[in-house]
Structure 1
Amino acid sequence: MMINAVLLALSTIVAANVVPTEEHNIQFNNRCGFGNPTVVVGGKIVGGNFIATGPIRNAIAFPWHRTGNCGFNGENCTVVETTLQNPTTPGTGSETDITLIPPHTFSVPVAFNYTNGCNGVGRSCPTANCVQAFHEPGDPPVQAACQANNVALAITFC
């Protein structure tokens, strides 16, 4: 009986100290008929659809054109910039935006929205003069924020 009580107490302590795994993913819907949606994290191309165990910080996503239109960091293309992370204090969660600040420029329509939390929150840039993207440094804030744990991001090109 005493052994059962000790085992129950230990399992309760272990369960209380297990940290849930943080996981985020970026999924693409490429309607362009060309290009390969690409995610660059920490200066490395990590591919198209991408799942990370842990935060994704300072990532960029763009429709990589094998014709040479987009540079390695999305130069000459429409770019989605994102940080996906579980908030540790209010206001420290995920944040995403569309940038057309040079050397980035409008190349294809793009939209994004959060999934798995903050559903429906996102931005869209269907034309070069869209108001939901950064065009110049110092533009008014156009980021979309999300304070949900394990949020995912869906990005649509074209």
Structure 2
Amino acid sequence: MFSAAALTLFAFAFATGVRGESHTITFTNKCGSGTPMLKQGGNTLSTGGAYTHNGPIDSAIAYLQTGACGNNGESCTLVEVTLTNPTSPGSGSSVDLSLVPPHAFSVTTGFGYYNGCDGAGADCNSADCTTAFHQSGDTQVQVACQVDNVDLAITFCD
């Protein structure tokens, strides 16, 4: 038999529509050519359309395929993406730009969180930008967000 408190909690959860984890990644390509790519584990998740996933998005990559990029963004500016609801302090989302070889500057690339952590993000406008990884120890360029269900906008040539 259920207690009145348990039934009240169940009714509240049902009425408010308890929502699971969800994240959306959107693209804006102002370059005039190229195809935005979003990949995870070698699988293509998007070629420019908004991508929504119910659950965390772990270890995805994004780049603008200009014809010069390898299948995993080699020779191009790379956005490394993990969007996940935090389960403890510091365990939430993290996004960064990477120019660690075999990646290299190709086009101006930027990202920003929205629907949480608005205004947090980074842009890379040249091969020597200080907002991107140039070697594996450049962890200060990672942009974290500790908000549930945060979304990400990626822009090329802004």
Q: Same fold per TM (> 0.5)?
A: yes
Q: How does 1:50-65 map to 2 (within 5 A)?
A: 50-65=51-66
Please tell me whether Structure 1 or Structure 2 has the larger radius of gyration of its CA atoms.
1
Instruction: Tell me how far 1:64 sits from its aligned partner.
Output: 1.4
Q: Report what 1:39 is aligned to.
A: 38
Q: Which residue of 2 aligns with 1:10?
A: 7
**Displacement of 1:13:** 2.4
Deviation per residue, 1:51-96 (Å, 9 max, x gap):
100000000000012x3x1111100100000100000111000000
Q: Report what 2:143 is aligned to.
A: 144
Q: Classify 1:150/1:140 alpha carbon distance in 2 versus 1 (closer, same or farther; 3 Å).
A: closer
Q: CA deviation at 1:120?
A: 0.1
Q: Which TM-score applies when normalising by structure 2?
A: 0.88
Give the Cα–Cα distance (whole angstroms) in 2 for the partners of residues 42 and 98 of structure 1: 18
Instruction: Give 1:40's aligned amino acid.
Output: K
Distance 1:120 1:35 in 2: 26
1:14 Cα offset (Å): 5.2
Cα distance in 2 between the residues matched to 1:23 and 1:40: 17
Structure 1 unaligned blocks of 5 or more: 1-5
Q: For structure 2, list consecutive stretches of 5 or more residues without a partner in the other structure.
A: none
Q: Matched residue pairs, number?
A: 151
Identify if the C-alpha distance between structure 1 residues 140 and 7 changes in structure 2 by more than 3 Å, giving closer, same or farther. Answer: closer
CA RMSD of aligned residues (A): 2.1
The 1:115–1:130 alpha-carbon spacing in structure 2 relative to 1, beyond 3 Å, is same
In the TM superposition, residue 16 of structure 1 has moved relative to its aligned partner by: 4.1
